[in-house]
């Protein structure tokens, strides 16, 4: 099969992904083999390629927003049939027996495995997934629409819930990329007023087209105090700004897996009146099922920019330079790397 992998992390300008032929993987017990159709390009992939997230395996294939067809099943695998359209997300496996798994918080598992970090992901023509951690893709979405839902969508949904936004409340969103533009649609669908702060003029235009109440620069103060907020941009410098724009009792949820240093916070100005900061760590499978239910009812409409598999490095570079409005998706099926 043809694939891209991280051989030596480095600045994205150096093209840290290496492409070529890899041996075809085979599914083990309880696993399925997917013929990858499309794979979303996530900022986590960028952090992996550049070394902000040290690779857990040498030569790991990135990609965890994967839509493919089941072409082979491993021993004891019965959940899906050949030909089913299936999605693979960030959470690849959990132990099921640690104290966090047993209490329903499998996203905090002590020994998790993640697709595209521990195990080879979807920047390839074939990918192995454990059947218990895969999703049947709703018919409401085509392949390209479905790809970003598998991480950007699910994580945005969990971040929205972590923000503790009350019904009909005011939600602030910092950064407006692949995940944020999906979370905004859910919040608006549920009756919230959404205020977007982002430096991209195109992203501001998209936010207003989607029905947000306000769209301004990343460092702008929203015209009203917010009942909850989500930080999607990987900039710790925005944390104090967001905290000072929160209403009493408001929560800032930080959605990214990587964040630059947070400046000193002032207790009286930033945290008093029971303002809170909450991080978002991966997701549970229940999050994914709940998200797809809501997404199908809206129905959610991702804004995507597609690239051929051969241009994986270009897609990551465009992402790093904030050239992408919405979510980037690699077209993988029968694409090759030539």
Residue 212's nearest CA partner among 174, 254, 162 is 174
- Cβ neighbours for 111, distance < 8 A, ≥ 6 positions apart: 94, 95, 98
d(CA 294, CA 292): 5
For domain 154-279, give the fold. Rossmann fold (3.40.50)
d(CA 50, CA 14): 9
- Cβ neighbours for 268, distance < 8 A, ≥ 6 positions apart: none
- Across the chain, which has 338 residues, the per-10-residue mean pLDDT values are 95 94 98 98 95 92 98 98 98 98 98 97 98 96 96 96 98 95 97 97 96 96 97 96 98 94 95 97 96 96 95 96 93 66
Specify whether the CB–CB gap between 275 and 269 falls below 8 A. Answer: no
d(CA 200, CA 325): 9
d(CA 326, CA 321): 14
Specify whether the CB–CB gap between 17 and 311 falls below 8 A. Answer: no
Give the pairing of strands 134-136 and 85-88. antiparallel
> Hey, where are the domains in the chain?
2-151+283-293+301-331, 154-279
d(CA 48, CA 96): 26
H-helix or E-strand containing 239? helix 238-244
Specify whether the CB–CB gap between 88 and 127 falls below 8 A. Answer: yes
Specify whether the CB–CB gap between 234 and 205 falls below 8 A. Answer: no
Q: Is the pTM of this model over 0.85?
A: yes
Question: 196-206: string of b/e by CB count within 10 Å (b at 16+)?
Answer: bbbbbeebbeb
Find the distance separating the first CA and the last CA of the chain, reported in whole Å: 13
- Homologous superfamily (CATH) of 2-151+283-293+301-331 is Medium-chain alcohol dehydrogenases, catalytic domain (3.90.180.10)
Question: 58-82: string of b/e by CB count within 10 Å (b at 16+)?
Answer: eebbbbbbbbbbbebbbeebeebee
271: number of CA atoms within 13 Å, CB side?
A: 7
Q: Is 203 helix (H, G, I), strand (E, B) or coil?
A: helix
Place of tokens 């499978």: 285
pLDDT of residue 334: 61
pLDDT of residue 333: 87
Specify whether the CB–CB gap between 243 and 270 falls below 8 A. Answer: yes
H-helix or E-strand containing 250? strand 246-254
d(CA 160, CA 278): 11
CA angle 262, 182, 221 (to 5 degrees): 45
């Amino acid at each position: 099969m043809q694939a891209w992998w991280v051989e030596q992390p480095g600045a994205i300008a150096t093209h840290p992904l290496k492409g070529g032929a890899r041996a075809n993987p085979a599914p083990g017990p309880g696993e399925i083999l997917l013929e990858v159709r499309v794979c979303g390009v996530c900022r986590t992939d960028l952090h992996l390629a550049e070394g902000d997230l040290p690779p857990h395996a040498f030569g790991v294939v990135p990609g965890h927003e994967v839509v493919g067809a089941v072409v082979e099943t491993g021993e004891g695998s019965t959940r899906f049939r050949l030909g089913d359209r299936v999605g693979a997300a960030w959470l690849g496996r959990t132990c099921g027996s640690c104290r966090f798994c047993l209490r329903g918080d499998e996203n905090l598992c002590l020994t998790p495995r993640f697709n595209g970090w521990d195990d080879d992901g979807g920047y390839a023509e074939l990918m192995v997934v454990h059947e218990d951690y895969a999703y049947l893709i709703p018919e409401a979405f085509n392949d390209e629409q479905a790809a970003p839902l598998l991480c950007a969508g699910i994580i945005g949904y969990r971040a929205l819930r972590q923000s503790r936004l009350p019904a009909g409340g005011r939600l602030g969103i910092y950064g407006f990329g692949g995940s944020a533009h999906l979370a905004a649609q859910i919040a608006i669908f549920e009756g919230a007023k959404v205020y977007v702060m982002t430096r991209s003029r195109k992203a501001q235009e998209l936010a207003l087209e989607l029905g947000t109440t306000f769209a301004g620069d990343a460092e702008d103060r929203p015209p009203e105090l917010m009942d909850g907020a989500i930080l999607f941009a990987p900039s710790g410098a925005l944390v104090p700004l967001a905290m000072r724009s929160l209403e009493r009792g408001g929560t800032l949820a930080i959605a990214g897996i990587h964040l630059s240093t947070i400046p000193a916070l002032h207790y009286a100005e930033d945290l008093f009146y029971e303002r809170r900061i909450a991080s978002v760590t991966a997701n549970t499978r229940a999050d994914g099922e709940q998200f797809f239910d809501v997404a199908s009812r809206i129905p959610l409409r991702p804004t995507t920019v597609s690239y051929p598999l051969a241009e994986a490095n270009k897609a990551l570079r465009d992402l790093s330079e904030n050239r992408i409005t919405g979510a980037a998706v690699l077209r993988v099926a029968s694409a090759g790397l030539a």
